[in-house]
């Protein structure tokens, strides 16, 4: 009898594993047509000036799938820190039920207010990840840093630390993308679209929650598209 | 029979251990429910001890010279006595007074302007602030990983020797959460274990009439932000809460501090401008500056005769809690092995 139960449990766990599928969501940072590379790669702005990037890090959270406008699946504990300098963080493997029909992927750029008021958290949310503001509690949702001669700053550096969860300066943004597969989804993030919208001579350092952060967070929406 | 006895002893020991862990934090009778959610960071003596060692260890600062305790001394209610503005590494001076620390489990925001929204992340601010420890949490974690003692202390506390930012911060907050003061003369009077003198009693009545709307019992703070009418310091130009909310209606508001152990937590106010309690009373009775955001409670002037001032101060002194100030569980850790590391990490 005991043996039978054991086999039954084994069989059941086997079936439940079989019933699980993975959906791999790969994020590819781009600058226009080119793959975005950090540090020593130079890109040209429409003005003719060059630009280079030192870091690109952002949070993706609350990944959900919907079908014909109706919600069909939600990833549990859905928080991911993506870091362009660490290739493996750009490929998210999401457990989904097998046979899931979905025509739309949804996720947030950034973290919700609950996470922002939950104190010290671990793994991707650990404050040692460089995505937490020490002087005023809250996470940086999106971080882009680099250099361009257009920036009349020290070492021509620009820093965009987009974040803020308190009303009226919330910066979390929801992205919805049409998809035609739930096995592999390739999402491109075109940084050129973000940069060309900005006048780098005027706006090159945004590192606090507030109006500017909110404006920048809205620009992030258009960077994401399915390849 | 023997087996039962063993079982009984085991149950007893388990209960005793549980009981010991339970007394790590106390909600005094009649006090509200703490704001801190202990279920998310359950207290244990090993974690508190780790937090205490970290609290006293200058390894948290960039050049390993100052610790939390440098500006928060247990013998003076964890305030920085006689220093108006906080001090940092390399003789740097900050812009605000290091506040006294106690009963913080009841607070939902921290710092004079409430910029910090959770006690677990509070330590990040002084660690990274240029005029305080000027260090990077990531680097602190590296230093602790390379120390000869900390991995073992982290293992003891978290059953995991890996030093993480989360565990580092949660252990510091555990120690700070256990810093509680509820055994002043005032508390024993409330518990009907002793009585105020006539003077103290008169002072208590004056306090209830004039001060308690902001400095509400039993915490002696309403935990809110108020503009108490201080003249703006032209060198600091500190707008307080408005820096956080970017809202004009928060201009010049600062968090109402507790009055517990106020005898020891001088100098007073967010910039430590007043050295004596008499200066504070002078401010409230004659120095309040009118402005748009002035606290409603201060719009009618407070009037106190000189005798009444003496009585009020007599009452304020009953908020001194000797068992808190000299409690050995808050002082420099008895087993300071971890501290020796600072010498190594400097090399």
Identify the residue with better confidence: B95 or B313.
B313
Instruction: Tell me the per-residue pLDDT of B155-177, one tens digit each, with 9 for 90 and over.
Output: 999 999 999 999 999 999 999 99
Instruction: Tell me the per-residue pLDDT of B198-209, one tens digit each, with 9 for 90 and over.
Output: 999 999 999 999
Residue from A130, A133, A137, A171 to probe the interface with B (highest B Cβ count within 10 Å): A137
Q: Work out how many CB contacts closer than 8 A connect A with B.
A: 68
Predicted confidence (pLDDT) at residue A20 exceeds the cutoff of 50: yes
Global pTM value: 0.87
Instruction: Tell me the per-residue pLDDT of B37-76, one tens digit each, with 9 for 90 and over.
Output: 999 999 999 999 999 999 999 999 999 999 999 999 999 9
User: What number is the ipTM of this complex?
Assistant: 0.83
Q: Are B261 and B316 in contact (CB under 8 A)?
A: no
Q: Are A182 and A21 in contact (CB under 8 A)?
A: yes
Which of A120, A134, A137 is facing B128, going by the closest CB pair? Answer: A134
Q: Is B54 part of the contact surface with chain A (CB cutoff 8 Å)?
A: no
Q: Is B115 part of the contact surface with chain A (CB cutoff 8 Å)?
A: yes
Query: For residue B41, what are the contacts with CB-CB under 8 A and spacing of at least 6?
Result: A119, B120, B170, B173, B174
- The mean per-residue pLDDT over the stretch A138-151 comes to 96
Predicted confidence (pLDDT) at residue B262 exceeds the cutoff of 60: yes
* Contact criterion met (CB < 8 Å) for A122 and B166: yes
Q: To the nearest 10°, report the CA torsion of B168, B134, A128, A211.
A: 120
Q: Which of A38-47, A62-71, B31-40, B275-284 is least confident?
A: A38-47
Distance CA A25, CA A93 (A): 6
pLDDT level of residue B86 (50, 70, 90 thresholds) = confident
- The mean per-residue pLDDT over the stretch B297-305 comes to 95
Q: Are B24 and B178 in contact (CB under 8 A)?
A: yes
Q: Is B183 part of the contact surface with chain A (CB cutoff 8 Å)?
A: no
Q: For a pLDDT cut of 90, what percent of chain B falls above it?
A: 84
Instruction: Tell me the per-residue pLDDT of A74-120, one tens digit each, with 9 for 90 and over.
Output: 999 999 999 999 999 999 999 999 999 999 999 999 999 999 999 99
Upper half-sphere CA count for residue B42 (Cβ side, 13 Å): 5
Residue A132 pLDDT: 96
On chain B, the residues whose CB falls within 8 A of the CB of A136 are 115-116, 244
- The mean per-residue pLDDT over the stretch A123-141 comes to 95
Residue of A nearest to B109 (CA): A137
On chain B, the residues whose CB falls within 8 A of the CB of A134 are 121, 124-125, 127-129, 137
Which of A122, A130, A166 is facing B138, going by the closest CB pair? Answer: A130
Q: For a pLDDT cut of 70, what percent of chain A falls above it?
A: 92
On chain B, the residues whose CB falls within 8 A of the CB of A118 are 40, 118
Distance CA A31, CA A37 (A): 9
Which residues, numbered 122 to 141 in chain B, qualify as contacts with chain A under a Cβ-Cβ cut-off of 8 Å? Answer: 124-125, 127-129, 137-138, 141
The residue behind tokens 């404050």 is A127
Distance CA B51, CA B106 (A): 19
Residue from B37, B40, B60, B117 to probe the interface with A (highest A Cβ count within 10 Å): B117
The DSSP element (H or E) to which A16 belongs, if any, is helix A2-18
Predicted confidence (pLDDT) at residue B11 exceeds the cutoff of 90: no
On chain A, the residues whose CB falls within 8 A of the CB of B119 are 119
- Which residues are A148's β-sheet partners? A51
pLDDT level of residue A19 (50, 70, 90 thresholds) = low
On chain A, the residues whose CB falls within 8 A of the CB of B117 are 116-117, 137-138
Q: Is B35 part of the contact surface with chain A (CB cutoff 8 Å)?
A: no
Identify the residue with better confidence: A111 or A12.
A111
Query: In this structure, what token pair is assigned to residue B298?
Result: 């201060």
* Residue B336 to chain A, least CA–CA distance (Å): 26
Which of B40, B127, B170 is facing A134, going by the closest CB pair? Answer: B127
Q: Are B184 and B196 in contact (CB under 8 A)?
A: no
Residue of A nearest to B244 (CA): A136
Query: In this structure, what token pair is assigned to residue B217?
Result: 């019992």
* Residue A130 to chain B, least CA–CA distance (Å): 8
Which residues, numbered 1 to 30 in chain B, qualify as contacts with chain A under a Cβ-Cβ cut-off of 8 Å? Answer: none
Residue B343 pLDDT: 45
Average pLDDT, chain B: 92
User: In this structure, how many other beta carbons lie within 10 angstroms of the beta carbon of residue B224?
Assistant: 14
The residue behind tokens 């660490």 is A86
- The mean per-residue pLDDT over the stretch B263-288 comes to 96
- The mean per-residue pLDDT over the stretch A5-21 comes to 64
pLDDT level of residue B325 (50, 70, 90 thresholds) = very high
Residue B347 pLDDT: 38
Q: Is B169 part of the contact surface with chain A (CB cutoff 8 Å)?
A: yes
Residue B101 pLDDT: 97
Predicted confidence (pLDDT) at residue B6 exceeds the cutoff of 90: no
């Amino acid at each position: 009898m005991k043996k039978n139960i054991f086999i039954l449990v084994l069989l059941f766990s086997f079936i439940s594993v079989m019933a699980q599928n993975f959906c791999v969501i790969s994020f590819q940072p781009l600058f226009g047509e080119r793959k975005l590379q950090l540090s020593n790669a130079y890109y040209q702005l429409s003005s003719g000036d060059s630009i280079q990037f030192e870091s690109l890090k952002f949070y993706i959270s609350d990944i959900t799938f919907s079908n014909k406008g109706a919600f069909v699946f939600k990833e549990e504990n859905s928080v991911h820190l993506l870091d362009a300098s660490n290739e493996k963080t750009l490929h998210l493997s999401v457990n989904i039920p097998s046979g899931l029909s979905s025509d739309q992927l949804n996720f947030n750029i950034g973290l919700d207010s609950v996470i922002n008021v939950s104190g010290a958290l671990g793994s991707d949310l650990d404050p040692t990840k460089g995505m937490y503001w020490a002087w005023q509690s809250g996470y940086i949702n999106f971080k882009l840093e680099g250099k361009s001669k257009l920036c009349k700053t020290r070492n021509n550096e620009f820093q965009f630390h987009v974040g803020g969860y308190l009303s009226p300066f919330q910066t979390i943004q929801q992205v919805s993308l049409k998809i035609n597969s739930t096995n592999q989804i390739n999402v491109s993030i075109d940084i050129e679209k973000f940069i060309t919208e900005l006048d780098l001579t005027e706006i090159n350092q945004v590192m606090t929650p507030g109006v500017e952060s909110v404006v920048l967070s809205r620009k992030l929406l258009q960077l994401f598209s399915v390849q | 029979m023997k087996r039962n006895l063993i079982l009984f002893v085991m149950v007893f020991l388990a209960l005793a251990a549980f009981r010991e862990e339970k007394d790590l934090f106390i909600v005094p009778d009649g006090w509200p429910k703490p704001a801190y959610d202990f279920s998310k960071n359950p207290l244990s003596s090993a974690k508190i001890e780790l937090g205490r060692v970290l609290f006293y260890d200058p390894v948290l600062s960039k050049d390993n010279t100052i610790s939390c305790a440098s500006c928060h001394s247990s013998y003076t209610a964890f305030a920085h006595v006689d220093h108006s503005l906080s001090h940092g590494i390399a003789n740097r001076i900050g812009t605000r007074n290091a506040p006294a620390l106690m009963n913080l489990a009841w607070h939902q925001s921290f710092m004079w302007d409430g910029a910090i929204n959770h006690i677990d992340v509070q330590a990040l601010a002084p660690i990274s602030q240029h005029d305080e420890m000027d260090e990077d949490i990531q680097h602190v974690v590296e230093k602790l990983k390379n120390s000869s003692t900390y991995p073992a202390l982290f293992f003891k506390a978290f059953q995991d020797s890996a030093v993480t930012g989360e565990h580092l911060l949660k252990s510091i907050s555990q120690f700070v959460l256990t810093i509680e003061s509820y055994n002043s003369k005032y508390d024993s009077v409330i518990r009907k274990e002793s009585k105020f003198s006539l003077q103290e009693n008169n002072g208590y009545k004056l306090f209830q009439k004039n001060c308690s709307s902001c400095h509400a019992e039993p915490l002696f703070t309403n935990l809110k932000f108020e503009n108490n009418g201080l003249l703006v310091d032209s060198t600091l130009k500190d707008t307080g809460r408005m820096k956080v909310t970017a809202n004009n209606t928060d201009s010049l508001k600062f968090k109402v501090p507790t009055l517990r152990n106020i005898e020891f937590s001088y100098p007073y106010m967010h910039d430590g401008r007043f050295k004596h309690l008499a200066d504070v009373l002078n401010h409230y009775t004659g120095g309040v500056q009118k402005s748009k955001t002035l606290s409603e409670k201060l719009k009618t002037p407070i009037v106190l005769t000189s005798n009444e001032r003496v009585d009020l101060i007599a009452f304020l002194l009953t908020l001194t809690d000797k068992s808190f100030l000299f409690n050995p569980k808050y002082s420099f850790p008895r087993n300071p092995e971890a501290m020796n590391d600072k010498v190594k990490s400097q090399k």
